[in-house]
Amino acid sequence: MTSTIAGIKEDLKREMQGGVTVVVLGASGDLATKKSFPCLYGLYKRDLLPEKVHIIGYARSKFSREQFVKKITQHIKTDSEEDKKKLDEFLKFTEYISGAYDKEEAFKDLDKNISDWEQKNKLKKGQKNRLFYMALPPSVFLSVASGLHNSTRTTEGKNRLVIEKPFGKDLESYKKLNSDLAPLFDEKEEVFRIDHYLGKEMIKDITTLRFANMLFSPLWSGYHIKSVQITLKENFGTEGRGGYFDEYGIIRDVMQNHLLQLMSVLAMERPIRRDANAIRDEKVKLLRSVKPIKMEDCLLGQYTAANDKPGYLDDETVPKGSTCPTFAALAFYINNERWDNVPFIMRAGKAMETSKVEVRIQFKALPGILFEDAPHNELVIRVQPNEAIYIKFNNKSPGFSDDCLLTELDLTYKNRYSNLQIPDAYESLLLDAMRGDRANFVRDDELEASWEIFTPLLHRIEKDKIVPEKYPYGTRGPAKLSKFMDRYGVVHT
């Protein structure tokens, strides 16, 4: 796979030869309206959709054309007349169909609609490509995949099935879902499991940072690194999503998937090539080396009402007295030579004091006593907001003083790169799905390995009904957090 714009266009032409129909299932929902359609428009605007393209939003809700257009355009920004013109063009090949998720007739009607377009556009055998994006709750994944398999998939072009997380709730349910899906769409050729964190610019950059720099590559191990922190904070609660969230909890919502994917890219060995399977082979090897998490390496929290904001249990969609964690801190150890005894501390929380996602790699102190109190070096990768990489290092205080001063080498993207245009993660992944690049999609064995790490802990939490520690809305998490971090030698620089 090439990654210059010209190369990407070539891939797209080759993979989606003729044209493509993209069907967004669950088109009335949050993800589809906020991300899928705006990102498809974003690709069109950048001239990164195949020449012949047909987009269908599909869901049960009944919308008129006007209602549908209003729903999807409310999240699309048009800054200029040129943008508005592009959006009008985009809407001309985008339509909405209302249909069931469990009726054969509905999937046959969908097939007929697509076939009519293919015929009208004179697509030949081999050119009738179809991409199905399931922006749906997992409860309907299987019946929709089965309806598509029986009545809507093409036999005259490529089929792509893009599936959203969550893929199961534990190892057993994941295996069942996977084995039920396996006969419907081909794992190697057709299935694309999205973890949108793999489409984020700074997470994609980690491989380059690690393996293209003599400056970092030799230092990337427990010989030099003391601890790694991976943090996701959100300054809003689960308001309105309580029904979904309570069934999953923070560990399944963002840690077993987004943050573990981030950790595997950070910690994997160097892949033999930069292609999808070589990268995923290394991620699987790494995940299989992660020790199952012990209960004592886990701290759980749940937010309470504070600062005029409701507590988790105040949400009407949350069952009374729920012990679902909205915050978790977990420490992982990796059983290999590179990472022996290095704690990877993952933290995620809703209703916190701020919103950010970052990685902090803390280095060991230099041996010797010349600068014995010098703070530790730290490499920070700020994934969002305001993408940046910065290194905290010790410098002589400028001037007469020879004090050692902790300072920063700062690569803040918006200051460094003029005309910075970072595509949304979904934009980048939808493009990859069309051009057949699987490097940033999750393979089945990766998921199996990740559920193996989390399942014993999740079962223990549920079986023992572990009660999370309360923390007020808008704060840094449970009071026990500082002691928890101290246990792994994390120092505040």
Using CB under 6 A, count the residues that bind ligand BG6. 5
Show the binding pattern over residues 392-431: x = contacts ligand NDP (CB under 6 A), - = does not.
----------------------------------------
**Residue 260 interacting with ligand BG6 (CB under 6 A):** no
User: What is d(CA 24, CA 435) in angstroms, rounded to the nearest whole number?
Assistant: 17
Interacting partner of 19 out of ligand BG6, ligand NDP, none (Cβ under 5 to 8 A depending on kind): none
Task: Show contacts of 335-338: CB within 8 Å, 24+ apart.
Answer: 335/289, 335/290, 335/291, 336/286, 336/289, 337/221, 338/220, 338/221, 338/222, 338/267, 338/269
In whole angstroms, give the CA distance from residue 460 to residue 10: 50
Interacting stretch for ligand NDP, rule CB under 6 A, among 7-15, 27-35, 223-231, 481-489?
A: 27-35
What one-character-per-residue DSSP string does 144-168 give? HHHHIIIII--SSS-EEEEEPSP--
Judged by beta carbon, residue 30 or residue 116, the one nearer ligand NDP is: 30
Q: Return the DSSP state at 251.
A: I
Whether residue 170 contacts residue 451, with contact meaning beta carbons closer than 8 Å, is answered with yes
Assign 3-class secondary structure to 293-340: CCHHHEEEEEEECECCECCHHHCCCCCCCCCCCCEEEEEECECCCCCC
Our separate counts of H helices and E strands in the chain read: 16, 15
Asked about 376 being catalytic, the answer comes back as: no
Site for ligand NDP in 185-204 (CB under 6 A): 196
Nearer to ligand BG6, 95 or 247 (CB): 247
Which residue from 18, 26, 57, 343 is in contact with ligand NDP, where contact means CB under 6 A? Answer: 26
Which C-beta is closer to ligand BG6: that of 226 or that of 347?
A: 347
Q: Give Dmax (Cα) for the chain.
A: 82
Strands lying side by side in the sheet with 94-98: 94-98, 53-59, 19-25, 128-134, 159-163, 191-193
Number of residues near ligand NDP (by CB under 6 A): 20
**Which lies closer to ligand NDP via its Cβ, residue 158 or residue 196?**
196
**β 327-332/19-25 pair status:** unpaired
Shortest distance (Å) from residue 71 CB to ligand NDP: 10
Can residue 254 be called a binding residue for ligand BG6 (CB under 6 A)?
A: yes
Residues 302-341 touching ligand NDP, rule: CB under 6 A, are none
The answer to whether 352 and 306 are in contact (CB under 8 A) is no
* 328 close to 347: Cβ distance less than 8 angstroms: yes
Q: Which of 64, 139, 155, 341 binds ligand NDP (CB under 6 A)?
A: 139
Smallest gap from residue 161 Cβ to ligand BG6 (A):
19
Under rule CB under 6 A, residue 60 binds ligand NDP: yes
Instruction: Give the residue from 360, 362, 302, 290 showing the smallest Cα distance to 328.
Output: 302
Q: What is the dihedral of CA 7, 8, 12, 15, to 10 degrees?
A: 70
Distance CA 328, CA 350 (A): 10
Q: Which amino acid is at 213?
A: N
253 touches ligand BG6 by CB under 6 A: yes
Select the residue interacting with ligand BG6 from 11, 111, 118, 234 (CB under 6 A). Answer: 234
Partner whose binding site includes residue 489, from ligand NDP, ligand BG6, none (CB under 5 to 8 Å by kind): none
CB of 58 to ligand NDP, least distance (A): 8
From the list 149, 258, 459, 492, the catalytic residue is 258
Q: Which is nearer to ligand BG6, 319 or 385 (CB)?
A: 385
Q: Is 140 in the site for ligand NDP (CB under 6 A)?
A: yes
Q: Which residue, judged by CB position, is nearest to ligand BG6 in the bound state?
A: 253
Smaller CB separation from ligand BG6, 118 or 253: 253
Place of tokens 């990654």: 3
The entry of ligand NDP, ligand BG6, none near residue 418 (CB within 5 to 8 angstroms by kind) is none
Determine the interface stretch with ligand NDP among 24-32, 169-177, 232-240, 315-323 (rule: CB under 6 A): 24-32
Using CB distances below 5 to 8 A depending on partner kind, what does residue 253 bind out of ligand BG6, ligand NDP, none? ligand BG6
Chain residues binding ligand BG6 by CB under 6 A are 196, 234, 253-254, 357
Chain residues binding ligand NDP by CB under 6 A are 26, 28-32, 59-61, 101, 135-140, 164-166, 196
Catalytic positions are: 258
